[in-house]
Structure 1
Amino acid sequence: MTQFNAGKKSVGTEVKNAIMTGVSYMLPFIIAGAVLMGIARIGASFYGVDNIWDSSHAESVHSLVQIFHDFDGFGGLALSLMLPIVAGYIGFAIANKPAIAPGMIGGLLAGKLGTGFLGALAAGLIAGYIVRYLANNIKLPKALASAGPIFIIPVGGTLIVCALMSYVIGDPMAALNRGLETWLLSMSDGNKVVLAAVVGGMVGFDLGGPINKAAVTTAMALLASGIYDPNTAAQVAIIIPPIGIGMATLIWKSRFPESLQEAGKASTLMGLIGVSEGAIPFALANPKIIAVNVVGSAVGAAMAVGLGAVNKAPISGFYGWLAVESWFVYVLAIATGSAIIAVGSLLVFNGEETKKEVKKENAPKFTVSR
């Protein structure tokens, strides 16, 4: 059976290269989804529609609103492939084609379990190393050798990955999510600026992952009870990381790896329409940016709430900004948080990756050198 070897690369280098491979394959899906959703939401805003994703618009009296609703669905479909694609191709980078199916299925399960991109990251790495182990240790007779890469390894790898995701990784992350929601609810009667900073930092931490979802879900629950500050903080924080990082790539493009330079445009667009996932490729490429995201999101959220902005709707996209009470303060808070992240991004991505990419000869198309 085919064997896969790590060569002389350290585990850290191999993991980083694998993550960047997954990001490279994932980017076209993010860009396609962002553009389609941007078209839909911007177009719908001209008809006074700020929730074009709602199923009721499929029966709108305006045919263009129906089309925009469909476009938003197409974009959402593209984004829904983000987790399985990144997980599948992280596995592929480690153990080649037999790891794609276990990785993608594990990434799909990560989405279902609510573990976000951190769960997908884990699924891809588990798939890669499990498949490599199986390929290197299962010995088959010659007559059955061809069945290994297309049957035994994908099936066995998928079963192991799904079992680990369901019974080992999923439950602790779900428990963490419930605990965070309870903690936030207990803070709702305290200092509103501190609460806003905590909500903002959580939202900016994992960009759609369990910590982010705990903050947003709790904010939505409090919104239904007429408590608006957590929602204001969450909606501000959702869009600050992708806008801030996108601004940084526009200001000083050469400081970012070539594989991420074009991703900044999609990140900016996704931020403007209220989709935080545009910043995920940058967090995967350099986890140091997560701390910058937390600070920028916390500052922006605390500033909006502290200066009196109130967002009574679960809308973060630009098409809802003018409906916010004290909207100028709200926009200023977004700009401030985004500026913090833009500056921080330029410090974290200092151009070294780009120089090494240029120097590296015969580099695989979807692998980035450390």
Structure 2
Amino acid sequence: MAKFQADNQQSTGVEIKNAIMTGVSWMLPFIIAGAVLMGIARIGASFYGIDNIWDASYEQADTVIRLLHKFDGFGGLALSLMLPVVAGYISFALANKPGLAPGMIGGLLAGNLGTGFLGALAAGFVAGYIVRALNRYIKLPKSLASAGPIFILPVGGTLLTCVVMAFFIGSPLAALNHSMESWLMSMSGTNRILLAAVIGGMVGFDLGGPVNKAAVTTAMALLASGIFDPNTAAQVAIIIPPIGIGVATLIWSSRFPLSLREAGKASTLMGLIGVSEGAIPFALSNPRLIIINVIGSAVGAAMAVGLGSINHAPISGFYGWLAVEKWPVYVLSIACGSAIITFGSLLIFRGESESQELKKEVKTPKFKASR
């Protein structure tokens, strides 16, 4: 069979962190490409007074509008690869090439099950450790050793990962997602500022994960019923974390690890066009940022709703700000929430110590065939 050998021994905590950072680093280009394409499409559509260019009805529109609709679809296609890629490369970091297919397929399944980003993280770790276990405990004669990494490990790892995701992890996470949606729906008649703060905090919590998706989905459902406050809160909160953390890296870049300084520029751009995932690498690098994201998003959302801003469309990017009722208040709320995250992130990222820690990262395990 085959052996996975790491160049150095590392603790489980360091191994998990390295795996997550590997997955995120491979995921970022897909997010950036998708977000920029969607931004081009939606900014272009705004010149024609269109705020829902993703709607299928524009498939039969005039040439330019149809082209913008296609661009938005291309961007969405790129973003749809986010979950498989992050799960696949987490698994790759743990089990090298044999873990790549089980991880990607597990991440794709996580998306289909409605478990979001957290489900994809779980799929990556499940796949990586399953492939490791298979490699350790399945023994083959030397004549069949080459079949291990290209047949037994990918096929067996994929099957077991899908079973674990479908029957053990997927259902609880999906149920949690639906229960949060029901809870938010039940709060629609309570204090509007409190509701806005709750939705804002949920959106800022996991940046595109199940908690975020539950809040945004519920806000859109209420929007269809003519209830605008939840949508206003969600659209404000979506962009506050990436803008806040991006501005922080521009103000004082030396406080952030080298690997995240360039990501800060992308984060700012992604925030402006309405993609919260730009802040994910920073939250994974320092989980204390999650608390700050929740606070900043909640404050910004509550402020926008409390001061009377109304966003009638499910658009968070800057190209939709001028269409919001009381848009100066709306923009001020975004600025205030982002400022909280900027200040907080500069407090928790300490520069040199974290940079040194990242420099000590252990290389990913190498796959070597035994003699």
Q: Same fold (TM over 0.5)?
A: yes
State whether residues 199 and 233 of structure 1, in contact with CA within 8 Å, keep that contact through their aligned partners in structure 2: yes
1:242 CA displacement: 1.3
Aligned partner letter, 1:214? A
Question: Do structure 1's residue 52 and structure 2's residue 56 form an aligned pair?
Answer: no
1:64 CA displacement: 2.7
1:156 CA displacement: 0.8
**Aligned residue for 1:10?**
11
Q: Secondary structure at the match of 1:102?
A: helix
Aligned partner letter, 1:231? N
Question: Do structure 1's residue 341 and structure 2's residue 332 form an aligned pair?
Answer: no
Separation of aligned partners in 2, 1:240 and 1:198:
15
* Deviation by residue 1:23-67 (Cα, 9 ceiling, x = unmatched): 111122122222222222222222222222222223222x33222
1:316 CA displacement: 1.4
TM-score (norm: length of structure 2): 0.93
**Aligned residue for 1:31?**
32
1:285 CA displacement: 2.2
State whether residues 245 and 342 of structure 1, in contact with CA within 8 Å, keep that contact through their aligned partners in structure 2: yes
**Aligned residue for 1:160?**
160
**Aligned residue for 2:177?**
177
Question: Do structure 1's residue 151 and structure 2's residue 136 form an aligned pair?
Answer: no
**Aligned residue for 2:293?**
293
Aligned partner letter, 1:314? P
**Aligned residue for 2:44?**
43
Question: Do structure 1's residue 307 and structure 2's residue 307 form an aligned pair?
Answer: yes
* Deviation by residue 1:231-262 (Cα, 9 ceiling, x = unmatched): 11111111111111111122222222222222
Separation of aligned partners in 2, 1:261 and 1:158:
35
Aligned partner letter, 2:95? A
Cα gap change, 1:335 to 1:155, in 2 (>3 Å): same
TM-score (norm: length of structure 1): 0.93
1:154 CA displacement: 0.7
State whether residues 296 and 337 of structure 1, in contact with CA within 8 Å, keep that contact through their aligned partners in structure 2: yes
Question: Do structure 1's residue 128 and structure 2's residue 128 form an aligned pair?
Answer: yes
1:209 CA displacement: 1.4
1:167 CA displacement: 1.0
1:8 CA displacement: 2.0
The RMSD of aligned alpha carbons is 1.8
1:138 CA displacement: 0.6
Instruction: After superposing the two structures, state which structure 1 stretch, 83-92 or 261-270, moved more.
Output: 261-270
**Aligned residue for 1:244?**
244
State whether residues 241 and 341 of structure 1, in contact with CA within 8 Å, keep that contact through their aligned partners in structure 2: yes
How many residue pairs match? The answer is: 363
* Deviation by residue 1:176-219 (Cα, 9 ceiling, x = unmatched): 11211221122111111111100110111111211111111221
Aligned partner letter, 2:51? D
Aligned partner letter, 2:325? E
* Deviation by residue 1:291-325 (Cα, 9 ceiling, x = unmatched): 11111100001101111111122221212211211
Q: Secondary structure at the match of 1:4?
A: strand
Aligned partner letter, 2:300? G
1:149 CA displacement: 0.7
* Deviation by residue 1:310-357 (Cα, 9 ceiling, x = unmatched): 112222121221121111111111111111111122222221222344
State whether residues 117 and 210 of structure 2, in contact with CA within 8 Å, keep that contact through their aligned partners in structure 1: no
Separation of aligned partners in 1, 2:70 and 2:222:
31
Aligned partner letter, 1:242? P
State whether residues 254 and 354 of structure 1, in contact with CA within 8 Å, keep that contact through their aligned partners in structure 2: no
Separation of aligned partners in 1, 2:120 and 2:284:
11
Q: Secondary structure at the match of 1:262?
A: helix
Separation of aligned partners in 2, 1:170 and 1:329:
40
**Aligned residue for 1:261?**
261
**Aligned residue for 1:355?**
356
Separation of aligned partners in 2, 1:27 and 1:277:
9
Instruction: Choose between structure 1 and 2 for higher RCO, CA contacts under 8 A separated by at least 6 residues.
Output: 2
State whether residues 93 and 364 of structure 2, in contact with CA within 8 Å, keep that contact through their aligned partners in structure 1: no
Separation of aligned partners in 2, 1:51 and 1:365:
43
**Aligned residue for 2:90?**
90
State whether residues 245 and 267 of structure 2, in contact with CA within 8 Å, keep that contact through their aligned partners in structure 1: yes
Aligned partner letter, 1:206? D
State whether residues 114 and 209 of structure 1, in contact with CA within 8 Å, keep that contact through their aligned partners in structure 2: no
Spell out structure 1 runs of 4+ moving beyond 6 A.
Answer: none
**Aligned residue for 2:322?**
322
Unaligned 5+ segments in structure 2 are 366-371
